[in-house]
Structure 1
Amino acid sequence: MTDKTAPIRHSPSTGPNSPDVWGIYEPDTGSIQYVCADLATRQAALIDVVWNFDPQSYATSEESLEQVLDLVTREGLEVAWILDTHPHADHFMASARLKNRLGAPTAIGEKVRDIAGLWRDIYHAPDAFDPDRDFDRLFADGETFRLGEMDVRVMLSPGHTLGSITYVCGDAAFVHDTLMHVDVGTARCDFPGGTAAQLWRSIEDILALPAETRLFVGHDYGADGRDAPAWEAAVAEHRASNPHVKEGTRREDWIALREERDATLPLPDRMLAALQVNLRGGRLPAAEADGHHYLKLPVNKF
Structure 2
Amino acid sequence: MGDLAVGARSGTEEPEEPAGRGEPARPVTSSVHQSPARPGTQAQTQRPAPADSSDPPGRSDTLDTSAGEEAGGGMKKAKKPRAFWKELPILIGIALLLALLIKTFLVQAFSIPSDSMQDTLQRGDRVLVDKLTPWFGSKPQRGEVVVFHDPGGWLNETPTPEPNPVQKVLSFIGLMPSAEEKDLIKRVIAVGGDTVECHGTGPVKVNGKALKEDSYVFPGATPCGDRAFGPIHVPKGRIWVMGDHRDDSLDSRYHQNLKGNGTVSENEVVGRAFTIAWPVNRWAMLPVPDTFDQPGINKAAAAAPAALGLAGAVPIVMWRRRRLTGTRNPR
Bin the TM-score by the shorter chain. Answer: under 0.3
Larger radius of gyration: 2
Considering fraction of residues, name the structure with more strand.
1
TM-score normalised to the size of structure 1?
0.25
TM-score normalised to the size of structure 2?
0.24
